[in-house]
Amino acid sequence: MNLAVVRIILLFICFCTYTSYSQAINISHYVEFAHTYGVIRYFSPNPYTKDWSESDWMKVCALLAHRIETQPLETVFQPLAPTLYFSTAPILSKKDTTKSTTPAQFYYYSGSGELKVPFLAKLLMPGLANYIPYYKRLSTVLNLQDSVTAPVPNRYYNYPVGNEKYLNIQHALPKEMFDSKTTHRLLTEAKNYWKHHQSNDKMLSSNRRFIFGLLSDKAVRIADLAVRWNIVRHFYPYYEEDNLDWDHQLKIYLQKAIQIGEIDSFESLLEWYDTINRFLNPIKDGHLFVRRDMNISNIKATYLPEYFADVETRCVNDTLLIRTEIGGKQTWRMLHTINGKPASIRLQSCKEMTNAATEAHRNKIAVEKLFSSSVYDTPFVIESSGLAEQMHKDTLYTRYPDLPVSKHEDQPIRKYDNGFLYIDATSHKLNEKRFLSALTPDIKKLCFDLRGLPSYRFEDILAHLISSDVKAPATEVPINSFPFQQKLSWRVNTETLQAKLPHVNLPAVFLCDAGTVSWGETILMIVRHYGLGTIIGQTTAGTTGDMTQFDLPLFPFAMTGMRMHCMDGEQHHAQGIVPDKIIPIYANDYITNYDRTLNAVFNILK
């Protein structure tokens, strides 16, 4: 090989090595920032941040991420925690002996985020208006002894935030250790920094100029990831159960955040939204989803649109199915390709942006996104076939703002000649009065279909199946005052389901599948524990417990906020409810319009 060529190759290798090394150093600096931010944001007892909103904190985080480019971490975070310091090794816990005339305070968290109860639900169920499971409060340390939940006044605690770098911080301090003017000035500067972002493209609308300008700022993207990472790390109730490699995930996506170029188009904005979804993907939570709205100001918002093709989809044993209209008739067919590529490739892409606790539930959610797009009228060229294996080629267009709804019977209750009463628990038309009216003397057996999300009204029907008041499954809200879920405790709450007359004492079967999630799974926990009937179908979604929401200014998100177990103490999360009788289903069942699970009920209730 020519000597000059060898030299060029060696120079290129050296350049690449140097570049990679530089990027690693930069990433480590941002990792240190993200770790430090979460500890200080949640556990520095600054009383002047008590009323800051999620939006306020995001703006502060963005400003601080911008400042670390030119200032040391200690200087950047001192307005929020003036007594913090960093060390290169862990230091034995020590107390600051500064005397104070006021008691020390610390932040106490009952979960995090906010439970959003729909207005209609509050009207129909007045007790929900005062149901606030997630909150924080600035508490006073009543004694000087260390405890499970309260930090020792003035004591320093240390946490690793990077390679040979430790944050030393006090979690319980008197009010006078903080300066209100300095803290308020920081928030004012953060809001000004946030609102003055603008894209240089003056042809764009004011909304797009602001959003594009905002996310073109590397500091904003770093803050966006840091905020979400810390919420999960400190408050996700199944953090240990999910065995998340969360630090590794942070490093990967901080690198992506830095490498993303200027946000100057709708497509690049969508790329950032997809990046956030992929970042959160390892979390096994069927409640976790990222909304598509963005707040421009307190009174102005915009959103990423999403359109769907008018087609139903299913994933059955790795076979993809679609139901479209052929000759005026709705027909299920096997889906083979989308835009010239195997449909499984598109499904995998959808799964990478979908959260679920079980693989079957993830498939169910992802398959609903196969024919969705942020652009109206996006074409999807598909190839599909029926049982005769005749290939059909069609084009679907994304023209509908809502996900197509599965075709249900008009009536939520159906009677069969053999004294069998079928009740669709997911129907919005179902109510207590209809159920009781259908219980004529010829009814001998009941079948409750919980395949999907049951109506909240089903609680009234369930109350007729119990002969006396029963306890519902316990909820466990995480209680913490220390970072990284250290010294975590749980507030356990159990509600009572009150029995109603008349008591309906008939043989019952409850149908479920991978789409039975949340409230539906709670119902099945009660059914199994109190022996209210036989559960048949497929394993459920493995996700229940009240959700919590985080109103971030860009793409807010929700997740499960509390822990729940089966009533015998067994794990439910990511396991689901395993039916008493498992009914396998096949792609041909859909194509031939055969409900194998429902037909199995007829044999069970003979």
- Does residue 309 or residue 331 have the better pLDDT? 309
Which contiguous run of DSSP H or E holds residue 234? helix 218-235
| pLDDT score at 16 | 43
- Give the tens place of pLDDT for each residue, 210-229: 999 999 999 999 999 999 99
Mean pLDDT value of segment 248-267: 95
Last residue of a domain, one of 285, 318, 342: 285
Query: Rounded to whole angstroms, how far apart are CA atoms 470 and 475?
Result: 15
Q: What is the pLDDT of residue 21?
A: 38
pLDDT higher for 479 or 5?
479
Are both 428 and 384 inside the same structural domain?
no
Residue 547, classed as helix, strand or coil, is strand
**End residue of a domain, out of 397, 421, 447:** 397
- Which is higher by pLDDT, 43 or 123? 43
What's residue 5's pLDDT? 38
Torsion of CA 471, 475, 481, 485, to 10 degrees: 140
- If you average pLDDT over residues 507-536, what whole number do you get? 98
Q: Do residue 314 and residue 454 come from a single domain?
A: no
Distance CA 370, CA 504 (A): 43
How much of the chain exceeds pLDDT 70, in percent?
Answer: 90
Query: Are 423 and 374 contained in the same domain?
Result: no
85 plus 181 within the same structural domain: yes
Mean pLDDT over 305-321 rounds to 95
Q: Are 110 and 72 within one domain?
A: yes
Q: What's the whole-model pTM score?
A: 0.93
CATH of the domain at 358: 2.30.42.10
If one counts the domains in the chain, the total is 3
Least confident interval from 19-23, 166-170, 236-240, 422-426? 19-23
Note whether 374 and 519 are same-domain residues: no
- Residue span of the structural domain in which 318 resides: 307-397
Which residues in 363-393 are b (16+ Cβ under 10 Å) and which e?
Answer: bbbbbbbbbbbbeeeeebebbbeeeeeeeee
| Whole-angstrom distance, CA of residue 126 vs CA of residue 124 | 6
Q: What is the pLDDT of residue 427?
A: 95
Model pLDDT, residue 6 = 36
Mean pLDDT value across the chain = 91
Rounded-to-integer distance, Cα 45 and Cα 100, Å: 15
CA atoms within 13 A on the CB side of 17: 6
pLDDT above 50: residue 146: no
Are residues 194 and 47 both part of a single domain? yes
Predicted pLDDT at 97: 57
Q: Is residue 598 part of a domain?
A: yes
Task: Note whether residue 571 is domain-resident.
Answer: yes
Among 285, 318, 346, the domain boundary falls at 285
pLDDT at 128: 62
Residue 523 has pLDDT above 50, yes or no: yes
Residue 258 domain flag: yes
Q: Which residues contact 24 (CB under 8 A, 6 or more apart)?
A: none
What pLDDT score does 387 carry?
A: 79
- Asked whether residue 259 falls in the same domain as residue 360, the answer is no
Q: Note whether residue 120 is domain-resident.
A: yes
Query: What is the rounded average pLDDT of the residues 496-511?
Result: 97
List CB contacts of 280: < 8 A, sequence separation 6 or more: 228, 232, 288, 290, 355, 557
Model pLDDT for residues 421-467, shown as the tens digit of each residue: 999 999 999 999 999 999 999 999 999 999 999 999 999 999 999 99
Select from 73, 6, 15, 7 the least CA-distant residue to 39: 73
Residues 202 and 174 in one domain: yes
Q: What's the gap between Cα 141 and its chain centre? A: 33
User: What is the CATH number for 528?
Assistant: 3.90.226.10
Pair 85, 122 in one domain: yes
What is residue 26's predicted lDDT score, i.e. its pLDDT? 67
- Looking at the domain assignment, is residue 4 inside a domain? no
User: CA 574, CA 49: separation in Å to the nearest integer?
Assistant: 36
What are the start-end ranges of the E strands in 57-148?
85-87, 105-110, 135-140
Q: Is residue 561 part of a domain?
A: yes
Q: At residue 4, does pLDDT exceed 60? A: no
CB atoms within 10 A of CB 95: 12
Half-sphere exposure of 453 (CA within 13 A, CB side): 11
User: Is residue 10, in this structure, part of any structural domain at all?
Assistant: no
Average pLDDT over residues 233-260: 97
Token readout for 94 is: 């020590």
Let me know: does 378 contact 284? Beta carbons within 8 Å.
Answer: no
Residue 404 included in any domain: no
The beta-strand segments (E) located in 171-288 are none
Can you tell me the mean pLDDT for 179-208? 95
Asked if residue 410 has pLDDT above 90, the reply is: no
Q: What is the DSSP string of 586-600?
A: -HHHHHTT--HHHHH
User: What does the pLDDT look like over 480-491, one tens digit per residue?
Assistant: 999 999 999 999
Cis amide linkage into residue 502, ω under 30° from 0: yes
Q: Which of the 8 DSSP states describes residue 145?
A: S
CA distance 108 to 60: 21
Supply 220's token pair.
């904003």
Asked if 220 and 30 touch (Cβ cutoff 8 Å), the reply is: no
First-residue to last-residue Cα distance in the chain = 84
CA dihedral 569, 574, 579, 582 (to 10 degrees): -150
pLDDT-derived band at 99 (thresholds 50, 70, 90) equals low
pLDDT in the model for residue 261: 85
Query: Do 104 and 194 belong to one domain?
Result: yes
pLDDT digits (tens, 9 = 90+) for 39-85: 999 999 999 999 999 999 999 999 999 999 999 999 999 999 999 99
Give per-residue pLDDT as tens, 560-602: 999 999 999 999 999 999 999 999 999 999 999 999 999 999 8
Question: Quick one: pLDDT band at residue 277, thresholds 50, 70, 90?
Answer: very high
Same domain, 280 and 138: yes
Q: What is the pLDDT of residues 369-381, one digit of tens each?
A: 999 999 999 999 9
**Helix runs in 352-462, H state only:** 359-367, 432-438, 458-462
